[in-house]
Amino acid sequence: MTTSGKHSVRFAGGLLCALCAAALLWPALGAEPVPDFASAHYGWIAVDNEFIAPPSGPGPVTFDPVHPYVGNNKGGQPTYRVADLTNPILKPFAIERLRRANELVLSGKSPFIPRERCWPGGVPGFLLFPIQPLYFIQTPKEVWMILQYDHQVRRVYLDRQHRANVKPSWFGESVGHYEGDSLVVDTIGISVKSTIDNYQTPHTDALHVVERFRIAGGGKQLEVNLRVEDPGAFTMPWSAKQLYTKADQEMLEAVCAENNGIYFSYDVAPVPTADRLDF
């Protein structure tokens, strides 16, 4: 990753201006207070790149007990992920895709996940980017979630319902509203190029995700509870959670593709490139 002090100051300054503008508009929301996730001086860092299973009921794909997953931050020799194919939420379509991913790992190859090749995380995979902070901009009509990692942006629209015909995209179409201390985000239209998690659990174009964001831990944590349903990939809706801790740091420039090559001739997805400027 590359960072630039000059660019990071400029970016953080622009973010601060946006937040100031949002603050001026905030009274338009009415008398009811809303949870405040936004600051130019702090972000939120995911505690892990695995979903937290619910206390009971159907939950996310986890590792095969015969092949326990050990992450880089867990101590001991790290391993690659091998998914538990016996999870009752999985339909045959999803089991087959995960079986192929498992075979790649068990054959001794390196299963690069999309994030490692600079591809967007999709939804709910957007919640599984650790180490680098997540920042919020809140206005009366929109909430922006910005990952420092490659500056990926999700937009949540507060002033509309879902459109009748949503064109699929990496982050889909997110509409939201505030309920008490939570921001509730409803997302559809998520591209099937994305995966649900870092086990590469697939989904269909019927994927529907509802997330509830709230401040927890005396203001030091951000908690996200999610519900996932997709009748094409899952036998039933399932739930999970992600936690973030507050990080007192301004947003830096973090461009993934500038330092991300294929050094050992692995068969991996290419880093995204463009043949023309976006502006």
pLDDT higher than 60, residue 28: no
Q: Does 158 fall in a domain? A: yes
Q: Does 224 fall in a domain? A: yes
Predicted TM-score of the model (pTM): 0.83
Q: What's the pLDDT at 41?
A: 82
Q: What's the pLDDT at 5?
A: 45
Q: Does 183 fall in a domain? A: yes
pLDDT higher than 50, residue 76: yes
Q: What is the mean pLDDT of residues 87-107?
A: 95
Q: Does 101 fall in a domain? A: yes
Q: Which residue has the higher pLDDT, 75 or 185?
A: 185
Q: Does 265 fall in a domain? A: no
Q: What's the pLDDT at 89?
A: 98
- pLDDT per residue over 113-171, tens digit each? 777 778 888 999 999 998 889 999 999 999 999 999 888 899 999 999 999 999 999 99
Q: Which residue has the higher pLDDT, 28 or 205?
A: 205
| Residue located via tokens 């996940």 | 113
pLDDT higher than 70, residue 260: no
Q: Does 98 fall in a domain? A: yes
254: confidence class by pLDDT, cuts 50, 70, 90: confident
Question: Range of 239's domain?
Answer: 5-259
Q: What is the mean pLDDT of the chain?
A: 85
Q: What's the pLDDT at 267?
A: 57
Q: Does 278 fall in a domain? A: no
Number of domains in the chain: 1
What distances in angstroms separate CA 157 from CA 89, 135, 174, 181, 273, one per listed residue? Answer: 30, 17, 6, 18, 29
pLDDT higher than 80, residue 225: yes
Phi-psi category of residue 45: left, alpha or beta, with phi > 0 → left and psi -120 to 50 → alpha? beta
pLDDT higher than 80, residue 1: no
pLDDT higher than 60, residue 29: no
Number of CB atoms found within 10 A of residue 250's CB: 20
2: confidence class by pLDDT, cuts 50, 70, 90: very low
What distances in angstroms separate CA 148 from CA 3, 213, 255, one per listed residue? Answer: 11, 19, 9
pLDDT higher than 90, residue 24: no
- Asked if 65 and 71 touch (Cβ cutoff 8 Å), the reply is no
The rounded Cα 104 to chain-centroid distance in angstroms is 24
The two three-digit tokens of residue 80, written as one number: 């690659």
- Asked if 156 and 142 touch (Cβ cutoff 8 Å), the reply is yes
Q: Does 267 fall in a domain? A: no
